[in-house]
Structure 1
Amino acid sequence: MEGACACTINEMVYILCGRDSSTLESPTSFKIRTLNTDTHQWSQLLTEGDTPSFTACSTCVLIGHCIYTFGGWARGIVTNDVHQYNITSQSWRELEPTDRSHEPMMKNKHGMVTHGNALLIFGGYGCPKVGSKFQEGAGYVFDVQSLLSTLMWTNELHLFDIEERKWVEPVITGPRPKPCAAFSFNRIDTDRVVLFGGRQKEERVNELHILDTSNWCWSGVLLPEGPDDVWPSKRSFHSASTVFDPQLINNNDNKGLNEQHLLVLWGNDNDGEIVSDCWILEIKGKETQHDNSHHYKWRRFQFPVPVRGRTWQSTASVYNTPSVGETLLVTVGGSFENIFINEDPLMADSTIIMRFAILLFYRLSFFTKIVSLICVEDVS
């Protein structure tokens, strides 16, 4: 499958839809698959209720015992619907907004993270509903090469309050990223979200941005801090996930846990070819940013065995407590071939489970190391 979205609860990874042979034939076909990371067993869930209509390029997050989805694409149709999936009852319901005056445009290839009990949604590619208004201060760039003249990239940012079912527009400061899509968008701690890469009009980029959600301030484009710093190449349709639980960074008794590691995997370049390298972004906690050391640093990530690169895959983290000393990063699906010139590209048929060891030294510092890699055959 390709273009799926994924999230985790305990040892289970939930994979929502994605394009495969069934969704190519039926644009409203929707599946939830689960992978038990302890047993490596796949299951496909039977669900009921208001099932979402998208098949790819949506986003999902977990809040409590529910999975929330926003947006997505199916056969050229985009949406801005919000759906809630109750894991206990295995049922869907659509969360109709009580007020649509500040809703985002219909889109896919956007980013979404949690913000307390709200959904934080940024950027993407799509079109506004007839009669809707553009967000003040946001940018919208029309895709002049599209057959549909209304399609565009955006850098709008919205919150959806799941309790009040209400769209909110935070007051943003700092230079926003340019309108973009197909980037990675990850919460790294309780206050900050990292955006990397993506597509801006016809160009793939390798820009790094940080959004501080405590004051809604964008960092602007972050550049290498030293002359010897290495940096990932330009890419889109990559995936990324954090090694440490964002809720634990700078929020625990272990003073060494003040740095997040973000793993960025593969993607495609400006020609649509697979980018074969992977990277880890090491980024320090907010309280360390008054010192003179590097606040963020990229380093190349090497698998212990050869692994074929892919694009349009999904990656999610299964966090254990620091005392357990490990995190699982699970990469599902994707394509091994150029998705822009191949109508039916070769899809990845295995899931990669990466086990990271978290090594603590005198409760003052730590580093991570991949200690095992398992390939699990995907469920059909």
Structure 2
Amino acid sequence: MQAMWRRLSTKGTLPIGRSSHGFVIIGKHAYVFGGENSPRVPIGSTVHALNLETQEWGVCEPKNPEKEPSPINAASVAAIGDSMYVFGGRSGITMGEGSTNDMYSFNTQTKQWSKLTTTGDVPLARSYHAMTALGSSLFVFGGCSDKGRMNDLHSFDVATNHWEKQPSYDVIEGRGGPGLVVVEKTIYVVAGFAGREMNDVHAFDTTTKTWRTLTFLTPLPPRSVFGVVSMGTKIIVVCGEVDPSDQGHEGAGNFSNGAFILDTTNPQDWIRVTAKGDVPEPRGWFSAAFSDFDRRLYMFGGNSETNARLNDTHSFELID
């Protein structure tokens, strides 16, 4: 299986380099929110938008800036309809310090922020968790709280602003930096950091509310804080940290620029993709998003092996 990487020749008001940020695609625009340029120091609450057709960056000036979130790092973001949802994140340095469990929405058409008043089993405050969308619901998994690394799964109905805790699955070790992705009505937890880089995959059937663990003849090389998307029945994983830094979050670990695909209809082997074109430098601590209009994965920024935060944008397209 082969793919083509392209580095976008972007113009306009480029976001500064960052890691641990949010990145989503709504229509023909990609949106970047939050993150850090220096270790553990939140950049701010500005939303940047990239027109994927013209490759031009701009700033989304909110109509109600007084309601935007405080600067946070390591929040999770996902999109439903015209809105980007932001959950959790932290403003402090140590695990759990300055963490929040607030849910915000930003309507990309009206440019309005809203802090949502929620009900139900609200998740603990956390950072470095993952969030994905399925229908009118958001699903949040794992992350780091003041109680340590989590392995819980919660759903959030954006129509009612109601949280529901999903069945637990003790097989999954608590972790930060996991991948979370939807294929049809199944949610997949992929890898992450549980004191060591992981490569396990667990599936949650949202219809039966049951878990299962996948086993492979050819597993995914262990990693965390990587890009993951779904394309049809396939899960695509790109880049990520494959060996953590001995300096914690102050220094860069060892990163990958490899790409791997799993076909969930026959999940026996993770297939390494042969990459062509402008293959990005190895990186981690970023997120990726899939564009329905041109069937490509996009990613922005991340942390590099020199510990410099990046602000480049790449697309990834399967060509085989």
Q: 1:183 aligns with which of 165, 178, 199?
A: 178
Does 2:167 match 1:194? no
Which of 25, 37, 55 in structure 2 is aligned with 1:20? 37
- Whether 1:217 and 2:210 are equivalent positions in the alignment is yes
Inter-partner Cα distance in structure 2 for 1:186 and 1:96 = 26
Is residue 2:127 matched to residue 1:108? yes
Which residue number corresponds to residue 153 of structure 1?
149
| Length, aligned pairs only | 289
Q: Which residue of 2 is the match for residue 302 of structure 1?
A: 274
Describe the SS at the equivalent of 1:75.
coil
Question: What amino acid sits opposite 2:299 in the alignment?
Answer: T
Q: Which residue of 1 aligns with 2:287?
A: 314
Residues 245-289 of structure 1: per-residue CA shift (max 9 Å, x gap): xxxxxxxxxxxxxxx22221121133333232423333244xxxx
* In structure 2, C-alpha distance between the alignment counterparts of 1:81 and 1:104, rounded to whole Å: 9
CA distance in 1, matches of 2:40, 2:267: 43
Deviation at 1:22, TM superposition (A): 12
One-letter amino acid matched to 1:194: Y
Q: Which has the higher strand share?
A: 2
State the 1:56 CA deviation.
2.0
Corresponding residue of 1:30: 45
C-alpha displacement of 1:53: 2.1
Q: Is the aligned partner of 1:236 residue 2:224?
A: yes
Q: Distance in 2 between matches of 1:349 and 1:83?
A: 24
2:157 partner letter:
D
Moved over 3 A (4+): 21-24
Alignment counterpart, residue 41 of structure 1, candidates 50, 56, 59: 56
**TM-score calculated relative to the size of structure 1:** 0.71
- Structure 1 residue 23 displacement after superposition: 8.6
Q: What residue identity is the alignment partner of 1:89?
A: T
The residue identity in structure 1 corresponding to 2:254 is: I
Distance 1:171 1:271, change over 3 A: closer
Give the counterpart of 2:137 among 102, 118, 124: 118
Structure 1 runs not aligned, ≥5 long:
128-150, 245-259, 286-293, 321-325, 339-344, 358-368, 370-380
Contact 2:22 2:75 in 1 (8 A): yes
Please state if 1:327 is matched with 2:318: no
Equivalent residue letter for 2:26: I
C-alpha distance in structure 2 between counterparts of 1:120 and 1:183, whole Å? 13
Match of 1:274 among 237, 254, 265: 254
- Partner of 2:305, secondary structure, is coil
2:70 corresponds in structure 1 to 53
Task: State the distance in 2 between where 1:177 and 1:354 align.
Answer: 30
**CA deviation after TM superposition for structure 1 residue 176, in Å:** 4.2
1:75-86 alignment, distance < 5 Å = 75-76=92-93, 77-86=98-107
The residue number in structure 1 matching 2:88 is 71
Distance in 1 between residues matched to 2:46 and 2:151, nearest whole Å: 30
CA contact (8 A) 1:175 1:218 kept: no
Q: 1:226-251, CA deviations, whole angstroms, 9 ceiling, x for partnerless residues?
A: xxxx333221111111233xxxxxxx
What amino acid is the match of 2:270? W
TM-score, length-normalised on structure 2?
0.83
Q: Which has the higher contact order (CA 8 A, sep 6+)?
A: 2
- Gaps in structure 2 of 5+ consecutive residues: 1-17, 246-252
**SS of match in other structure, 2:100:** strand
Residues 123, 21 of structure 1: alpha-carbon distance in 2 compared, 3 angstrom cutoff:
closer
Structure 2 partner of 1:207: 200
CA distance in 1, matches of 2:145, 2:264: 34
Give the Cα separation in 2 of the matches to 1:118 and 1:266: 28
Larger radius of gyration: 1
Aligned to 2:162, which of 139, 163, 166? 166
Q: Residues 110-138 of structure 1: CA distance to partner in whole angstroms, max 9, x if unpaired?
A: 121123322211111113xxxxxxxxxxx
Q: Distance in 2 between matches of 1:335 and 1:22?
A: 10
Instruction: Flag the 1:271–1:170 CA change in 2: closer, same or farther, 3 A.
Output: closer
